[in-house]
């Protein structure tokens, strides 16, 4: 049975990380394989570090001197982990005791890169996120989230960076997460499909409770988060897209996007302009982490698979059939 490492990224989470760690330890008690828990502290200024050291001796603590951000903090945790499977968990997420029972078995298929669970609110009733996909309209990629309609596993585009499971070796081979807030997990899942034909599976019978946005909500305002999301959508698209027709449509619609964002107001306009001067720096940093590689799937093949079409997609030796599971 595959060994599992939980990586919990923490920043000033003294109030809620105890519940997070307790839930993980309970899940490991229900798991027959080997497991470990790592807490990566991103330069917290509260009592998080002391609390973990005092109350959770089974948790391996990695204490960073400053906040390196979501992506780099998780990448360090994955590098330091020892398990075959690594689970990235936000410090305000609480996994169900049977979380591992339904998810780890998917990795017996060596085409599976990651598995994403169903995420609900703290009440256990409010559906937050499940199957993920990506749309393409008016020359822009758009995140796509499916309703809670699945009763069995189905392929999806990416695994939630705050509660997803990843094949550790494949994660490191791909280079890990890039610095794209709210798009970093999307980009990693897309890169896995595109470079290797590795798929992500949505497992609706595995459950996580998440107090969504608690950490970033303390650091950034809603308008700041929106600007970053808008900016990083462009960086994501410019970095990952190689399909000529998609590039043509993006360039064609680009002149019309500026007045559109201006019409939406001041909060959206910077998110349109910032990637223009951020692009060169981002591309340089991405090249340091991600090595160049051949593409197994085209952009349109990936979008079709993620959109839930029932057709069978053949990519070399990879045969991906998307069954609805409804």
**Helix spans in 165-221 (H):** 168-174, 184-196, 214-219
Higher-pLDDT residue of 314 and 88 is 88
Query: Which tens digit of pLDDT belongs to each residue from 190-212?
Result: 999 999 999 999 999 999 999 86
Helices and strands of the chain, counted as H and E runs: 11, 14
Mean pLDDT of all residues in 292-305:
87
pLDDT of residue 304: 83
Residue 271: pLDDT band with limits 50, 70, 90 = low
pLDDT at res. 211: 80
Q: Is the pLDDT of residue 9 over 50?
A: yes
- Tokens 């020359």 belong to 139
**How confident is residue 249, by pLDDT bands cut at 50, 70 and 90?**
very high
pTM for this model (two decimals)? 0.91
Q: How confident is the model at residue 38 (pLDDT cuts 50, 70, 90)?
A: very high
Residue 142 has pLDDT above 60, yes or no: yes
| Average pLDDT over every residue of 22-44 | 96
Position 215 pLDDT exceeds 60: no
Q: Would the pLDDT of 289 be above 50?
A: yes
> Does residue 185 surpass a pLDDT of 60?
yes
The kind and range of the H/E element at 165 are strand 165-167
Q: What is the DSSP letter of 242?
A: -
In 10 A of CB 204, how many CB atoms? 19
Mean pLDDT of 67-72: 94
């Amino acid at each position: 049975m595959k060994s599992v490492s939980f990586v919990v990224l923490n920043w000033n989470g003294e109030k809620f990380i105890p519940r997070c760690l307790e839930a993980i330890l309970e899940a490991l008690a229900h798991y027959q394989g080997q497991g470990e828990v790592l807490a990566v502290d991103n330069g917290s200024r509260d009592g998080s570090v002391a609390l973990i050291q005092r109350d959770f001796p089974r948790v391996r603590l990695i204490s960073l001197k400053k906040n390196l951000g979501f992506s780099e903090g998780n990448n360090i945790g994955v590098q330091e982990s020892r398990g075959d499977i690594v689970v990235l968990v936000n410090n305000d997420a609480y996994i169900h005791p049977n979380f591992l029972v339904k998810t780890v078995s998917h990795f017996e298929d060596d085409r599976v890169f990651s598995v994403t669970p169903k995420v609900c609110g703290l009440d256990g009733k409010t559906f937050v996120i499940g199957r993920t996909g990506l749309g393409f309209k008016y020359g822009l990629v758009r995140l796509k989230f499916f309703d809670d309609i699945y009763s069995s596993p189905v392929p999806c585009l990416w695994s939630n960076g705050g509660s997803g499971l990843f094949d550790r070796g494949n994660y490191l081979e791909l280079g890990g997460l890039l610095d794209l807030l709210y798009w970093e997990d999307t980009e990693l899942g897309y890169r896995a499909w595109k470079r290797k034909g590795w798929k992500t599976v949505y497992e609706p019978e595995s459950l996580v409770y998440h107090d969504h946005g608690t950490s970033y909500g303390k650091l950034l305002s809603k308008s700041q988060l929106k600007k970053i999301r808008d900016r990083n959508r462009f960086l994501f698209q410019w970095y990952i897209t190689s399909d000529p027709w998609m590039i043509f449509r993006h360039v064609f619609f680009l002149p019309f996007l500026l007045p559109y964002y201006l019409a939406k107001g001041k909060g959206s306009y910077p998110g349109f302009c910032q990637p223009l001067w951020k692009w060169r720096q981002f591309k340089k940093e991405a090249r340091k982490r991600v090595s160049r590689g051949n593409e197994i799937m085209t952009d349109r093949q990936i979008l079709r698979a993620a959109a839930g079409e029932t057709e069978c997609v053949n990519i070399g030796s990879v045969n991906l059939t998307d069954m609805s599971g409804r």
